[in-house]
Amino acid sequence: MLLVLPLSAFFSAVSLAVGAYARSSKEGQYYLMPLFLVTLPLVCLTLAPGVELSPLYSMVPVTGVALLLQKLISPDPQAGIPWLYFIPVLAPMAIYSWLALRWAIEQFQREEVLFREAERLDVGLWLRRLFREKEAVPTAGQAFFCFAMLLVLRWLSLGFGRDKAVLSVAAVCQLAFTAAPPLFMALLLTTRPRQGLALRLPPAWSWPAAALLAVLCVPPLAWLTLLILDQFPGLKLLIQENQPLLQSHAGLSISLPVLAVLAALCEELAFRGFILTGLRRRFQSWTAVFLSSFLFALFQINVFQFAPHFVLGVILGLIALRTGSVAPAMVFHLVYNLCLIAPLVFPQVFAVLNTKESGIGIQSLLPGIIAGVCALLAAGLVAAMLLSGKQPAAVDTEGAVAPALPSRSRLNR
């Protein structure tokens, strides 16, 4: 019963939103057929050999619920009931249900859906109109489509190049599967690709502020990640299997530019550039930030690190909104990645900070104390960035987006 409720809410909301486009019950059945065709592979995937309940499949709609039901109906005597996966399966389904319900509500609030003429859908005409009548910046629909494309490409890249060099595979995945879709969509579907990707010159103060904020965010987010991993010791082995770069010191030294630079540039161009700009066309600034952060955390395909990635996405989104540019977010992401990789590349330098075997004294509490102090300093720096200075101008004309976050002068009025 606990698993059926969010699943029923999800399908009810999606069916209601899709059915809003229908002019009759017969036409509504035609519109619901694609939904059935999309759902059927998600169910049949559970019957494929080798598909087991894992952090990846627990985030997939319908598939995660079906796999968990399989484990509950026929539990493994040795493993027992998989209580570990109840929250990873239910939490994404609850979020998907909420998003589908919000989509259904928006459909009934749009006059062009409720009171439109009896036109016929022509895919060819729609595509020609899409390329001919371009918007100034991306729309929310284009942002969601871009994320869906990124997620599919990332899923396909999981089995890509297993016999190739790890650095080459990482570079191809970042450039071709993460940066290319938003870049080409901005060039082909918008009249202002630079504004659509938030490629503007930021204020001078944003560069050092972003770098300092990244350094302050590393201890609390790393402590949160380690806290989650300590609760599930088996996850550490899973991470080591999926990250072969952690196995050799030489590989880490060579992969530093790829992991730090490419990930920062490509992921920020996609999520804080194209996707966040498109979401601000329909949603308020805070809603767009949280929604883009959720998509960013979902893109990592690691349900047990969902919370740290979500917090990281919120901070990056606030930086992009406050500065009006994606460049400071790239600097933050780059410095953050460098700080995470540095202890792995130079283990001797950071060995003195390893207090895991220190006992019950004050040294065992040192990581938590450092994380708490850095979290307070980071929160103060974010508040100072949001409440001081001049707010950047938003995109005008037909490409106008939602108002940016208010500055202190606007709050005092």
Contacts of 338 (CB under 8 A, 6+ apart): 256, 260
| pLDDT one-digit tens code per residue, 255-311 | 666 778 899 999 999 999 999 999 998 888 888 999 999 899 889 877 677 888 999
pLDDT, greater one: 204 or 123: 204
| pLDDT one-digit tens code per residue, 83-126 | 777 777 888 788 888 888 887 887 777 766 666 555 555 566 76
What's the first-to-final CA gap in the chain, in angstroms?
A: 51
pLDDT at 124: 67
Pick from 85, 92, 100: nearest CA to 17: 100
Range of lowest pLDDT (151-155, 179-183, 260-264, 356-360): 356-360
Cα–Cα distance between 53 and 163 in angstroms, integer? 26
Contact 207, 194 (CB under 8 A): no
pLDDT score of 68 more than 90: no
HSE-up of residue 342 (Cα within 13 Å, Cβ side): 12
Positive or negative CA dihedral for 292, 138, 178, 272? negative
Contact 35, 17 (CB under 8 A): no
Cα–Cα distance between 43 and 61 in angstroms, integer? 10
Cα–Cα distance between 30 and 49 in angstroms, integer? 32
With bands split at pLDDT 50, 70 and 90, how would you rate the model's confidence at 378?
very high
| pLDDT one-digit tens code per residue, 162-202 | 677 777 788 888 899 999 999 999 998 898 999 999 999 99
pLDDT score of 146 more than 90: yes
Classify burial at 353, counting beta carbons within 10 Å of its beta carbon; exposed 0-12, middle 13-18, buried 19 or more: exposed
| pLDDT one-digit tens code per residue, 313-332 | 999 999 999 999 999 999 99
Other Cβ atoms less than 10 A from the Cβ of 371: the count is: 19
pTM: 0.73
- Token representation of residue 343: 């202890």
- Token representation of residue 13: 């909301």
Q: How far is CA 63 from CA 38, 40, 70, 266, 376, in A?
A: 12, 10, 11, 29, 40
